[in-house]
A and B are shown apart, each in its own frame.
Chain A
Amino acid sequence: MAHSFTDARTLTAGQFVGGANYQELIHDPMFWTGLRNSLLYVLGVVPLLVILPLLLAMLVQRHLPGMTFFRAAFYTPVVASVVVVGLIWVWLLDDRGLINALLEGLGFGRVGFLSDPWLLLLSAMAVTVWKGLGYYMIIYLAALANVPRELHEACAVDGAGAVRRFLTVTVPAVRSTMVLVAALSSVGAFKVFSEVYLMAGPTGGPGGEDTTLVMLVQQVGTGLSGRVGYASALSVVVFALTLGLMLLVLRAQRKEDA
């Protein structure tokens, strides 16, 4: 944080420059691109990561034959290294990869998952969701185990169908868990680095269009001539925004409780 008020570089100590770094930041188009991408990432990833793992947890909740296997299998993406799964998905989504071959075989044209800036961002989001599913599924499983059976029974006696029971019993019962998942995944999504870095490359895709904020910090602040001061200013902003996001989620919950 102290560095963010200096013009330090990797090999030279910095002079105090006041708020110049922050001023430059506001006029830096890359900063706004990064902010836009990071926010889009949150908006795209968080709703999916709140809802899909809950449905998945309900799917594997019953003790039926093979369920342990399914649970373990759904958890594998979480255990695998993000670099490894990122590379696998890069192969799969490549212009000449498996998914495009399938699409072409089915009569659709090839889709430039990794060459179109917007599709690339969407693909990275898909990988993040794919990797997060198992983790949040476990959290939801723990929460679901605490839902009292009597509520379900009473609800069914009153003639409620499965969807109705889900909305009136399950969702309220796991709501605090949903807030937790929302908070965790939004912070994670806002600070996304690896997926986009792997899929878009160090420069952030075509024309740097897919750079996220943390990638920008890495681009600016590393290397022999890395601008440590400016990168520190960026980091401070990222930290403040993450904190703000967290407070926003918690505030939303408190309002619902009241």
Chain B
Amino acid sequence: MSTTVQREPERRAGWAPAGRRVPRWQLLLRYLLLLAVLALTIGPFLWQLSTSLKGPGEDLYHYPPSLLPQHVTLDNYAGVAGTIPVWDFALNSSRWRSPMCSPTARARHSRVTRWPGCASRAVGVRWSYSSWRCWCRSRAS
């Protein structure tokens, strides 16, 4: 091992004893630990991905479960759009166009705020926030 070589990347962060290279077994141990943690952190996501590609008859509770799908299919992804209004949900999540911006929703909102007493407060607060955002946007444009 050369005593003069100090690799530039190692100077930037972390610390190795000056002028000494890290022993190989330490490096190996470090990477083994890293891989173990890696399996823990992204393993569940890979399992999710694998499950999402599984065909009929080998669903989640098929026992014993197989790591990789036997019959690879994209039907599940196509099924999502057919089962739930997923694009509406996506719009809601992205908040660009709140569903409260539609005229019917606004009408419903004004009816709610006319309810007397506690009910209008309990229900109205949540609804009026999104319509308030609507109002702000319409004022701004």
Contact = CB atoms under 8 A, between A and B. Distances in A.
Contacts of B57: none
B31 to A, nearest CB: 8
Contacts of B12: 63
B131 interface: no
Interface stretch (B42-50, B71-79, B83-91, B106-114): B42-50
B104 to A, nearest CB: 24
Interface residues of A, number: 40
A145 B13 CA distance: 7
Nearest to B119: A11
A88 B38 contact: no
B40 interface: yes
A34 interface: no
Majority secondary structure of chain B interface residues (helix, strand, loop or mixed): helix
Contacts of A85: 44
B17 A156 contact: yes
A130 interface: yes
B interface, size bucket: 20 to 34
A74 B38 contact: yes
Given A11-B118, A80-B45, A156-B17, A73 B38 contact: yes
B41 interface: yes
A59 B34 contact: yes
B140 interface: no
Contact of B47 (A62, A92, A104): A92
Contacts of A70: 34, 37-38
A80 B49 CA distance: 14
Interface stretch (A22-30, A93-101, A191-199, A250-258): A93-101
Given A74-B38, A88-B45, A8 B63 contact: no
B122 to A, nearest CB: 6
Nearest to A170: B15
Contacts of B63: 96, 101
Interface string B8-24: 01101111111000000
Contacts of B44: 85, 88-89, 92
A145 B15 CA distance: 10
A13 interface: yes
A60 B34 contact: yes
Interface string B101-128: 0000000000000000111001000000
B37 to A, nearest CB: 6
Given A63-B10, A98-B65, A134 B15 contact: no
Contact of A59 (B30, B40, B61, B64): B30
Nearest to A147: B15
A223 to B, nearest CB: 11
B47 A59 contact: no
Contacts of A204: none
B80 interface: no
The 7 closest A-B pairs by CB, nearest first: A62-B14, A63-B9, A13-B118, A88-B44, A101-B64, A152-B15, A61-B14
Interface of A: 8, 10-13, 56, 59-64, 70, 73-74, 76-77, 80, 84-85, 88-89, 91-92, 94, 96-98, 101, 104-105, 130, 133-134, 145, 149, 152-153, 156, 228
Given A96-B63, A101-B65, 11 more contacts: A10-B119, A10-B122, A11-B122, A12-B118, A64-B9, A73-B38, A76-B41, A91-B47, A91-B60, A149-B15, A153-B18
